[in-house]
Chain A
Amino acid sequence: MKKSLLLIMTLVLSITLAACGGGNNAPANTPNNTAGTNGGTNSGTGNKPEETTDKELEGSILAVGSSAMAPLVEQAANKFMDENGKVTVLVQAGGSGTGLTQVSEGQSDIGNSDIFAQEKFKDDEAAKADELVDHQVAVVAMAAVVNPAVGVDNLTKDQLVQIFNGDMKNWSEVGGADQEIVIVNRPSSSGTRKTFESYALGAASPDLPGQIQEESSGNVKKLVSETPGAIGYLALSYLDDSVTALSYDGIEPSEDNVKSGKYPIWAYQHMYTKGEPNEIVQAFLDFMLSDEVQNNDVVELGYIPAAAMTITRDVDGNVSPK
């Protein structure tokens, strides 16, 4: 008995020791430099990427952040890893906030975010946003959705604002069925909600008693499709027959309308790096922006290629043609 106990403990100890030692060669999810960064670039990985004579990339990348972006980045990462056999790309969800925190503190190479960094890092933390370099890899558009039984397919901006402020209580006031309006909002910290508030409502919507708040789009869709009188908002990739997508001020939430700038409810998908990215991260970011990803994965997953937009928009909402 004693021998086997000792054996087990030795095994545990040796695995721990070996793994800690081997951890320096393991992928960047064992960042060893949380205590102070190396200043700017190369601050995420324990590996320095090498370039062999036949230009083969080697190393690892850690991308953390928005769970909405995770499917896209994962799919692109798989393709990237297929083409570069010695590279490992790890994608983690955890929320835009987590992503920005981790990239800013050097624990990850890339921070995926649904919103501009300046919107999360405010006031005394604004300096942190300045250190981050933005790479806009796609555009996600969203639409207000309602339960199909409501019978409405268009709402003006004013009507939306009134609904989300709680001033309007019944769908009959806008020509729909006689049903109580049930709001399915997102938590106040959600990037999706900020986007909707900035570009669809023009102002923050208050948390109201009796409101339902859900974090994930899957849950929102399920609730809107099952709850009579429900209204929420979803990215275009989630739309299907179980919910009715609303036009905004008469403009349909179609891709073409977004690209031309007519339909305003959309946001960039950002991949932030701290300072300029190192070689291997840059290669991955270039890959994300390449036609291979932009015209295939981006579109397949329901996003709009960043390059297809005819207008651009900055953090303050100023729109200008490209």
Chain B
Amino acid sequence: MSAKLANRIATVVIIAMALFIVAILVGLLGYILIRGLGHVSFDFLTSVPQTIRAGGGIGPQLFNSLFLLVLTLLITVPLGVGAGIYMSEYAKANRFTDFIRLVVEVLSSFPSIVVGLFGLLVLVQFFGLGYSLFAGALALTVFNLPLMVRITEQAIRSVPKEQKEASLALGLSRWKTITSIMLPIAMPNILTGTILASGRVFGEAAALLFTAGMSSPRLDFTNWNPFSPNSPLNPFRPAETLAVHIWKINSEGLAPDAAEIAAGASAVLVIVVLLFNFTARFIGGYIHRKFTASK
């Protein structure tokens, strides 16, 4: 076969494959959204799930997912940024640094169910946190932290060296240089990365099955005292998130409209994750344009 023919065939095959992938995604998203969006309404988004009667909603679960995300970020962002700063600024090229890199890689590749089991063993039982948002947040930290470290490290490394040198030359201490000069420049990248990581956290279920639990106590949304057991802000209460709820409804669903609820919840979950992705891209692009003054 002549080279030109081979070239044409290869090109066609490659384009076909690429189109196939797009078709898979469109089909997947279409399936989820078409099956689910019909069931989504304001009522669905705010009411409490029903065990056996129709008409249940996902209100508490949606709130739990968001609140858990916030809690996780509160823990992982300071820790991850700190570790990332260490890796990019303070770490010398020695075996200890290699070891830390290994640790970061391994932590980010752990199967989520192993993390969940670890959370069950250590956080829920050993430390006595019980099934709680806090245990769930700590379990999610195991995933999120390595991601944050990597994101921060890359972002800080991408800051132009001249900025750093100029700042030091002007007499600022190293730490001040990092915090006042380099971090702000790296912030768009860190922000984008964080938002993308949030998408992953939002959709996580396996690790939460054993840590945040599969039920949610009655939430009194007028009670904002974080120490009261009925308050939605109490981080020590069990909190079924949206992803776990989908899993539960698919497995145990007794309500007559279980299939629709699962479809609706899946649609909501996918839409939120998509929103995260788009926001990250949008902010990243916007700030890039601002910084580099390109149109």
Contact = CB atoms under 8 A, between A and B. Distances in A.
B159 to A, nearest CB: 14
Contact of B52 (A25, A26, A71, A81): A71
B49 to A, nearest CB: 10
Contacts of B132: 29-30
Contact of B51 (A62, A71, A94, A107): A71
B143 interface: no
Interface stretch (A8-16, A49-57, A257-265, A309-317): A8-16
Given A19-B235, A107-B130, A1 B52 contact: no
Nearest to B216: A90
Contacts of A91: 215
Interface in B248-295: 248-254, 258
A250 B218 CA distance: 45
A321 interface: no
A30 B179 CA distance: 38
A62 B217 CA distance: 11
Contact of B214 (A8, A28, A93): A93
B230 interface: yes
Contacts of A238: 254
Contacts of A18: 227
Interface in B59-110: 74-75, 77-78, 81
B202 interface: no
Contacts of B248: 93
Nearest to B251: A216
B42 interface: no
B221 interface: no
A218 B253 contact: yes
B179 A2 contact: yes
Interface string A214-250: 0111110000000000000000011000000000000
B74 A8 contact: yes
A93 B215 contact: yes
Contacts of A32: 128
A25 B226 CA distance: 12
Given A8-B74, A30-B132, A70-B215, A218 B258 contact: yes
A27 B229 contact: yes
A286 interface: no
A90 B78 contact: no
A73 B54 CA distance: 19
A189 to B, nearest CB: 16
A33 B126 CA distance: 10
B158 interface: no
A28 B254 CA distance: 28
B125 interface: yes
Nearest to A102: B125
A310 to B, nearest CB: 27
Interface of A: 1-2, 5, 8-9, 11-12, 15, 18-19, 22-23, 25-34, 60, 62, 67, 70-71, 74-75, 78, 81, 88, 90-94, 107, 215-219, 237-238, 300-301
22 contacts: A1-B179, A2-B179, A8-B78, A19-B134, A29-B236, A30-B130, A31-B128, A31-B130, A34-B128, A62-B130, A67-B214, A70-B215, A71-B51, A78-B218, A81-B218, A92-B215, A107-B125, A215-B251, A216-B251, A218-B251, A218-B253, A219-B250
Given A71-B254, A90-B217, 8 more contacts: A1-B184, A8-B74, A8-B77, A25-B227, A30-B132, A33-B128, A71-B51, A74-B215
